[in-house]
A and B are shown apart, each in its own frame.
Chain A
């Protein structure tokens, strides 16, 4: 029975099959974590994908960096008990430094990179996905960073239509997606989320970027971009009864932190 394949320009809408496939595992007010499995490469490749669903009316986002943009694991940020969740941004260079322009509470670091075709902005704790020039017109205390590529834009699969043309469409890796849902919720999706956790001993061969875009569209993302994936991708969420850790294997210099409003 057909599910779906990559279709540039296709409309994004919640797919009932995908919605049913998500198994919700942990929940707190305004935030929950679940997972589902997808098969790619003709069924040969199983990927577990974690979903973190956040109500922005109850949680605010901030951008955080250690002094000197020194690298740190997401778990290290959880020492601050006011932090509910931490997730890496992207992208990061070979030396670990953030790529493109970074605005950290109004302070500029780096320069705008033409090849990074999307930006994440944070104003008053709220996220927005925009074109990179938007970083120049933010309020004085705002934060933001550049990413690539657009996966879904204005409710349609964007990859292959307006962005991402320089990226491999066949390379498989762990993939991290930032999704602004049509329902107003923010979702983070991380494929192969278990690889560097307690279930050691596997390889981070994961999804292609077109498959990442297909899933984002099927979740009903009105806008979605990729954050840094691979071994940099890391996500930690605190619940009253436990901390869900989806660690990466590389410490990174820039993190998004999520706190209750």
Chain B
């Protein structure tokens, strides 16, 4: 157990001491093939599998690797996990085995189209090396270098295209250093780059920020990253040019955006460190926060534009039920507030923007359904000694 502490610079604020965290097990990647087949990997000694009812540990056994950074599956009996030192593990429905790959570089992501068409992204170890794209054809892995050196962070497949995003670090003039985004796209066997092209920033949108991640839903692609001034940048493309998406304008969005991704229905979902998330629909962000949730519970549901009287009645009934639960068990309030704490969010996967999972650096998996967030898994609860007094573990236990 440890504590998180932060000092606020320049803004003139002291953040104070945050409450003790649960186990510091980073759950770094999540992928699902359906609402009843979702996989999570990271620093845990086992992969986690959601079967629609519960999260189950799937131990790596003798194949136990170091930290895993990516997971992808074509189905419950064909799962790939990649990580540090060129680790590629495959699950066949019974056990994990280690695959032979032509690199010992850190693998940061994996994605595929079928059991015989899987890609992994190998990080470059210095700014003079190009990242590598690994491909599995169902028999063996091969590696090819990307066209220029940059730091590759994200991998996505869109149709027949492979898209890799990251950033380059360059010195445009002596004593001046800059960062710019790089987006490399493999189409028809040839690479094309946008953003930094090795000499200059050729595309101001693709080069606007260092990209942390890229996600795809059908033909839609989304980039998420940080500009040099620390502000979040989001860009989308539907096969053509990249377009910047303005971040959410709300009090909560003044906190750091932790992650932005496309849900399975191609809706952008943003997670905020300040405690909540937002969906991008109809050209604007709709923010959902724990504070708003609590306000609704305390003061009642406000009529929602476009909601039918029946929907409003249902919502009112749901809030009343929730309030009754909270009155019966005040500890539930604290647990619910913690569910909205996405300050250490690391990865997101969901079939839609109304049903998605978030993994965190604190060993938690948060399940968001509609506007409600709940903790679905907490690594800290694996230790019976500490789980007994932990309200989150109690709540999880009560669910089962």
Question: Which residues does A use to contact B, with CB under 8 Å?
Answer: 1-6, 17-18, 20-21, 23, 36-46, 73, 91, 93-94, 115, 166-168, 170-173, 198-205, 207, 211, 214-215, 230-231, 249-251
Contact = CB atoms under 8 A, between A and B. Distances in A.
Given A3-B7, A211-B9, A43 B254 contact: yes
A86 to B, nearest CB: 16
A222 B108 CA distance: 42
Interface string B59-96: 00000001101000000000000001000000000000
B126 A249 contact: yes
Contacts of A1: 13-14, 16
A110 to B, nearest CB: 14
A23 B231 contact: no
A39 B7 contact: yes
A49 to B, nearest CB: 9
Contact of A37 (B4, B69, B106, B213): B4
B31 to A, nearest CB: 15
A44 B153 CA distance: 21
B362 interface: no
A6 B230 CA distance: 18
Contacts of B138: none
Contact of A230 (B15, B16, B169): B169
Given A173-B177, A231-B169, A46 B273 contact: yes
25 contacts: A1-B14, A1-B16, A36-B7, A37-B4, A38-B8, A39-B11, A39-B15, A40-B8, A40-B10, A43-B256, A44-B256, A73-B126, A115-B175, A170-B229, A173-B177, A200-B108, A202-B212, A203-B153, A203-B209, A203-B210, A205-B179, A205-B226, A205-B229, A230-B177, A250-B126
A251 B124 CA distance: 13
Contacts of B13: 1-3, 39, 43
A206 B289 CA distance: 27
B9 A38 contact: yes
B227 interface: yes
Nearest to B83: A198
A214 B154 CA distance: 34
B127 A250 contact: yes
A6 B12 CA distance: 10
Contacts of A171: 177, 228
Contacts of A230: 169, 177
A230 B249 CA distance: 30
Contacts of A214: 9-10
Contact of B171 (A37, A94, A202): A94
Given A5-B10, A43-B13, A231 B4 contact: no
Given A46-B256, A93-B174, A171-B228, A200 B153 contact: yes
Count chain A CB atoms within 10 A of each CB in B3, B6, B69 and give the residue with the most: B6
B323 to A, nearest CB: 31
Contacts of B26: 199
Contacts of B367: none
Nearest to A206: B230
A37 B14 contact: no
A7 to B, nearest CB: 11
B123 interface: yes
B5 interface: yes
